[in-house]
Amino acid sequence: MTDAASTAPGAQVSSTTLRPGELVEAVDALRDSTGSVLVRGAGTKQDWAGAVRDPDLVLDTTDMNQVITHNPADMTVSVQAGIPLRSLQEHVGSQGQWVALDPASAAAGATVGGLLAAGDSGPSRQRYGGLRDLVIGVTVVLVDGSVGRSGGHVIKNVAGYDLAKLMHGSLGSLALIGEVVLRLHPIPPARRTVRAPASAPDATAAVLALAAGPLEPSRIAWSGDTNGEGTLVVGVEGSVEAARNAADRVVAALGEMGLKAQVLSDTEAHDAWSQHEAQVTGSETETVLALNGLPSELATVADVVRRSGAASDLATGLVSWAGVGMHVARFAAGEPRQLARAVQQVRAYAGRAGCSTMLRRRPQELDAHLDVMGAPPSSVGVLRAIKSRFDPDDRLAPGRFAGWYDPSSSLAGRRGNL
């Protein structure tokens, strides 16, 4: 295990950083420590949700980056949680397999454990499900240093809990994810991509029509800007002939809806999906808000984002993994009060529509003008009970879910005057 003084992303400063290379070292680090702890992988999600400020200890998992076992015949792989997804894809790709996951953050080095902790995924979720659907087993280290494992051989079973699903979206607030077992899929022999200019209403109609038809696209994305112009991108896969035929049929189907579509070359397809991924991440000066709803809400979400930005004199953009209702709104740089007003307007719509939201990127100054987490969900009582059971002293990622896990404490006490 290595240690060093470190400055973490997102204005998170710690005088002590430990880098365990093995599960037992992570166990020792948690068992022998006191105070607040931030578990960090590649650091690609440190801006998500509430900020963890000045943790006493940072546990950097990037040295836990090995493939433990890969069984191509069983189509499973066991890895240390700090392995970057792209490195894992290269490893299993040599056997014609892949982890059926394509989050935008993979290009920045996102780790398997970090992706599970963040609940992050991409447009291929439409066909393969999210990461929680690909996890066979997980090993975690609890805050007291004890080890819990679900799936496979049981070291210590936390009775009544599905650990993989609990870790999904927990943002490091429940335990350190040490090892993950994943199921794999064969790499499709061929992938083809169709692109068409489309407004948000036209794209919504197209998405719903494709979802109801026999073509079974593997992924669909749409992006647009303040002016309402946008681009729809549809991916299909299968055998070479099947993918070619499916792409031609998508072009024909979109044409019947009045959209001028074309099949892209491999290079054009790579560039098109990369552009969408870049918009999901957003630039360093943008405020990024994610909404999870329904594919049918794409046009409404696009209109709400556009109007919210216009009311605060902010340029906006929206990128949507339209087939699964995952929408990411971007607001250009502006005064904190302007940004807060725009975010709150989108959240108000989300509350009415039953969508969940999460701030993924924002200037630090924005935290003084709005509740970063927003209104808690109806399940907040269950979330608090689970947090209390796993981390009764609120040592792991304190502040990440501020206002949800700690309703009795003042947000003003954590971030200054709101």
pLDDT tens-digit map of 76-95? 999 999 999 999 999 999 99
C-beta neighbour count of 294 within 10 angstroms: 15
Domain presence at residue 214: yes
Q: pTM of the full predicted structure?
A: 0.91
Span 213-236, average pLDDT? 92
Span 62-78, average pLDDT? 97
- Specify whether 165 is located in the same domain as 196: no
pLDDT band at 159 (very low <50, low <70, confident <90, very high): low
Of the residues 135, 161, 186, the one at which a domain ends: 186
How many structural domains is the chain composed of? Answer: 4
- Specify whether 38 is located in the same domain as 148: no
90: tokens are 């290269």
Phi, psi for residue 383 in degrees, rounded to 5: -60, -45
Span 20-46, average pLDDT? 96
Q: Report the chain's mean pLDDT, rounded to a whole number.
A: 90
- Specify whether 299 is located in the same domain as 310: yes
- Specify whether 208 is located in the same domain as 353: yes
pLDDT at position 160 is 58
Domain presence at residue 373: no
**CATH number of residue 108's parent domain:** 3.30.465.10
**H/E segment holding residue 220:** strand 219-225
**CATH number of residue 293's parent domain:** 3.40.462.10
Span 278-297, average pLDDT? 92
Span 352-360, average pLDDT? 94
pLDDT band at 225 (very low <50, low <70, confident <90, very high): confident
Domain presence at residue 256: yes
- For residues 59 and 251, what is the distance between their CA atoms, to the nearest angstrom? 49
Domain presence at residue 247: yes
Domain presence at residue 115: yes
Domain presence at residue 329: yes
pLDDT band at 179 (very low <50, low <70, confident <90, very high): very high
Of 238, 328, 248, 245, the residue nearest 283 (C-alpha): 328
In the predicted structure, residue 7 carries a pLDDT above the cut 50: no
* Residues of the domain holding 98: 64-186
In the predicted structure, residue 12 carries a pLDDT above the cut 60: no
133: tokens are 């659907």
- For residues 251 and 260, what is the distance between their CA atoms, to the nearest angstrom? 8
- For residues 132 and 116, what is the distance between their CA atoms, to the nearest angstrom? 7
Burial 107-128 (b: 16+ CB within 10 A, else e): eebbbbbbbbbbbbbbbbbbbb
- Specify whether 140 is located in the same domain as 278: no
- Specify whether 284 is located in the same domain as 343: yes
In the predicted structure, residue 359 carries a pLDDT above the cut 60: yes
pLDDT at position 226 is 76
- For residues 190 and 131, what is the distance between their CA atoms, to the nearest angstrom? 23
- Specify whether 214 is located in the same domain as 196: yes
Task: Please check whether residue 288 is in contact with residue 330, taking contact to mean a CB–CB distance below 8 angstroms.
Answer: yes
- Specify whether 166 is located in the same domain as 251: no
pLDDT band at 356 (very low <50, low <70, confident <90, very high): very high
- Specify whether 304 is located in the same domain as 216: yes
Three-class secondary structure of residue 58 per DSSP: strand
Of the residues 152, 186, 220, the one at which a domain ends: 186
- For residues 84 and 80, what is the distance between their CA atoms, to the nearest angstrom? 10
Domain presence at residue 375: no
Domain presence at residue 374: no
More confident residue, 53 or 252: 252
Of the residues 155, 186, 217, the one at which a domain ends: 186
Which residues are within 8 A (CB) of 189 and not within 5 positions of it... i.e. 6 or more apart?
238, 239, 240, 243
In the predicted structure, residue 146 carries a pLDDT above the cut 60: yes
In the predicted structure, residue 151 carries a pLDDT above the cut 90: no
pLDDT band at 1 (very low <50, low <70, confident <90, very high): confident
- For residues 27 and 21, what is the distance between their CA atoms, to the nearest angstrom? 11
In the predicted structure, residue 182 carries a pLDDT above the cut 70: yes
- Specify whether 54 is located in the same domain as 68: no
More confident residue, 1 or 349: 349
pLDDT band at 156 (very low <50, low <70, confident <90, very high): very low
pLDDT at position 413 is 36
* Terminal CA-CA length for the chain: 40
- Specify whether 203 is located in the same domain as 106: no
In the predicted structure, residue 412 carries a pLDDT above the cut 70: no
- Specify whether 338 is located in the same domain as 208: yes
